[in-house]
């Protein structure tokens, strides 16, 4: 049975392939980027902190380069996309923040929806003309307790809840994938939109969380966590394996918190095509970006 479990050792030869990984200076993003360079890919680490990105890249084998990208600032997103030339095989929308205090991006968006969803929404649409293979967007199984308020994505008309805002952003990631795949299919494109979640991986994503929620994490969450190397496997599987567009990849183990990659089933809300279309329209209006036909059409 164990021999059938997919690991990074089974990555295909990625020579000649170009991959962008957002938030690749640490955690799952850095591990995924490192494994992809080891397999022969040219990987661009799209990071907010150049020094941290260069430190991560220095430990990688193969072609790793660092470029600045701040997903909480649409001017940075536009600058990154404008500087891209040539084909891009795979875009991995990995960067994210979790359960942070209420804050606003440079464009006035609530910080978690702005970073986790709207920044990646804009980046993907702006890079679509260069894409040849797929977009991988990293969500979380916490999307299952999330709700989307399309008319109040930025929490202006309701009391802010860090966990609620995070879960909304992760549900948005999956709805984005659903609608992006619909649009790609409608355009006759061979580019795929897929999603993944790492389970509960031991990273610094929630290291800042204190108080009651921090105590809950220490008592109940840590015992079911897996290391970041295993947490990166769903990302790598989604990025390199021949899976259908719209797929959602996650761990196969205990309540999907750890284990090896398998095709998972997102919540009913995450598969709601009407909600996905309404979220897309709202996101396009907020970011002033919209679907562009990929290069493979």
Active-site residue set: 166
Q: How far apart are CA 153 and CA 169, in angstroms?
A: 9
> Cα Rg for the chain, rounded, in angstroms?
18
Q: How far apart are CA 99 and CA 112, in angstroms?
A: 8
Pairing of strands 248-251, 261-263: antiparallel
Half-sphere exposure at residue 132, Cβ-oriented, CA atoms within 13 angstroms: 8
């Amino acid at each position: 049975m164990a021999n059938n479990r997919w690991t990074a050792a089974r990555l295909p030869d990625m020579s000649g392939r170009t991959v962008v990984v957002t938030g690749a200076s640490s955690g799952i993003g850095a591990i995924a980027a490192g494994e992809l360079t080891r397999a022969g890919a040219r990987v661009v680490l799209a990071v907010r902190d150049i020094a941290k990105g260069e430190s991560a890249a220095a430990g990688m084998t193969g072609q790793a380069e660092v470029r600045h990208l701040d997903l909480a600032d649409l001017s940075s997103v536009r600058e990154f996309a404008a500087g891209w030339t040539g084909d891009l095989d795979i875009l991995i929308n990995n960067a994210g923040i979790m359960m942070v205090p209420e804050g606003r991006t440079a464009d006035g968006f609530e910080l978690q929806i702005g970073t986790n969803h709207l920044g990646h929404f804009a980046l993907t649409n702006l890079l679509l003309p260069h894409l040849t293979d797929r977009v991988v967007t990293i969500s979380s199984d916490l999307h299952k307790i999330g709700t989307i308020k399309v008319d109040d994505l930025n929490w202006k008309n309701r009391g802010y809840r860090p966990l609620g805002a995070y879960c909304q952003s992760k549900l948005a990631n999956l709805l984005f994938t659903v609608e992006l795949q619909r649009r790609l299919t409608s355009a006759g494109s061979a580019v795929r939109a897929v999603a993944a979640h790492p389970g509960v991986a031991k990273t610094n994503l929630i290291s800042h969380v204190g108080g009651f929620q921090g105590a809950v994490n220490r008592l109940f969450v840590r015992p079911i966590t897996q290391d970041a190397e295993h947490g990166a496997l769903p990302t790598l599987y989604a990025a390199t394996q021949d899976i259908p567009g719209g797929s959602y990849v996650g761990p196969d183990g205990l309540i999907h918190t750890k284990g090896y990659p398998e095709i998972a089933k997102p919540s009913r809300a995450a598969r709601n095509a009407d909600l996905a279309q309404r979220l897309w329209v709202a996101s396009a209006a907020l970011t002033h970006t919209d679907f562009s036909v990929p290069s493979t059409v």
